[in-house]
Amino acid sequence: MTYLENSKQYTGTDLENIFFRPILTGQSAKELGVRVLYNMPQNTHVQLWDGQRNILQKFTTAGWSGSTAPTRTEKSINLQRVKAELGFSAADYFSMVYEKISAIVDVNMEDLSGTILERAETELFRQALAENIRATMWAGDSSASDGYNTFDGFLKLVKDGVTSGKITDFTYSDSDLSANSFVTSIFDQLWTDADPHVQGLKTDGQLAYFVSSDLCYLYEKYLDEKGVDAAYIDAVNGRQQLAYHGIPIIDVRMGSYLADTSLHQSFALLTDRRNLVMAVNTADMPGNEVRMWYNPDVMENRQRAVFMAGCLLLDETLITYAYKQ
């Protein structure tokens, strides 16, 4: 356990490249299903441009008439400084790290170097960080006394938008969900209630239904009822990606996190993926770091990350929302 007792601190480019960039860029960012901004300069400003309209004119007179600027929506994300801390008994920690090491190909278990151990420790903490960022991104509520209360997540921002009247919404009940086919009625109404600009964005390939797991299950059961061979095959093998009329259906997988919150537990929203913005910054605040160390007084291995994060709905009018009463 000698190497597990050595302190490790990551700041600057090490903090970025080793811990956060792997979980916030590339395929990892795509799996989150939303727009992810990493280490944008503070204050982080997000812009949405509306294409210039009605620029064709009759060619009858001389002069210039192209000076009208396109419509632009701009908002700044209020990033909050947060920390993540984990503590494990020395024996449990070594077992968890050892299991990570055993999964690495071509490792001599009789001759573990400090680099191999550090890689396993890093992966252990990085997985916990990634899942908690994802959970807070949806279930965060800064007004809550406990739980995921570091910054407001998308569901809290949507709830506030419904209250203010900026977001079009409707409700359904448990009795409505007694029929598997009702879930398609929810999708249809989300579409028909959507702003025409949202419907026009379908060709961009960025529209998505973000739904709770119960609605995903109902939709799969509805598809299973189809009396065709494809339905039988999908019922046996499962479906890697759900869609309705060509629009992807994304299961946000938040059931266990929402149970003890005031947020809606059964819901569906339709919007452009780029309208849901998650931002993380590890560069612009002194003291941002990841540290792992061993505390001999209590025989405990500890991990801590300090960084900044926040969420934003770029344009509430581009969202339609349904939830269970």
Taking residues 35-53, what's their average pLDDT? 73
Give the three-class secondary structure for 297.
Answer: coil
pLDDT tens column, 82-127:
999 999 888 888 788 777 777 665 655 544 455 677 777 888 888 8
For 148-161, the pLDDT digits (tens) are 999 999 999 999 99
Average pLDDT over residues 141-148: 92
How far is the first Cα of the chain from the last one, in angstroms, to the nearest whole number? 53
What's the chain's length in residues? 325
Q: What is the pTM of this model?
A: 0.84
pLDDT over 50 (residue 13):
yes
Reply yes or no on whether the pLDDT at 281 is more than 60.
yes
Nearest C-alpha neighbor of 269 from the set 314, 217, 318, 321: 321
Closest CA to 270 of 217, 323, 218: 323
Instruction: Summarize pLDDT for 53-83 with one digit per residue, the tens.
Output: 667 777 777 777 666 666 666 788 888 999 9
Q: What is the pLDDT of residue 272?
A: 93
153 C-beta neighbours (distance < 10 Å), count: 26
Answer whether residue 49 shows pLDDT above 70.
Answer: no
Cα separations in angstroms, 229 against 83, 232, 266: 51, 5, 31
Q: What is the mean pLDDT of residues 190-215?
A: 94
- Tell me the backbone φ, ψ of residue 168, rounded to 5 degrees: -75, 130
What is the predicted pLDDT for the residue at 155? 97
- Average pLDDT for 133-143: 95
